[in-house]
Amino acid sequence: MTREEKQLLLNDLCARLPYEVKIDHFGVIRDLLGVIPSFEIAMVGYNMNDYEDSAIEDIKPYLRPMSSMNEEETDEYDRLVMCNASWVVDDWLHKNHFDYRKLILKGLALEAPEGMYKNK
């Protein structure tokens, strides 16, 4: 994993922390919050130089492809985009576990099985 990929993944994971994102950790599905303390990942002021050999490479979040949006989600997403507040859109995408950064295509995330994030 390149330094840029580590940075992208860590940034994405930090933004998803409040939303109970699920991860694959050595083949086991876990909640990210339950794994973070063992990696000593700081949410504020982290320095990527400290994570050159980090276990961040052992974490792959389960995300939903953008193409998996249902009609109701698409309508809500479109309304948010029209409001032109990118941080609101990004937050909504994090909350709904969508892979808008194309982490799945880059091999940094796994496609969430259907129903994984139901009843959140």
Cβ(56)–Cβ(3) under 8 Å? Answer: no
- pLDDT confidence of residue 56: 74
Instruction: Note the pTM of the prediction, 2 decimals.
Output: 0.80
- pLDDT confidence of residue 60: 92
CA R_g for the chain: 15
Identify the band that residue 22 occupies on the pLDDT scale cut at 50, 70 and 90.
very high
Q: Which residues contact 81 (CB under 8 A, 6 or more apart)?
A: 89
pLDDT digits (tens, 9 = 90+) for 58-102: 789 999 999 999 999 999 999 999 987 788 899 999 999 999 999
Tokens at 102, concatenated: 């194309």
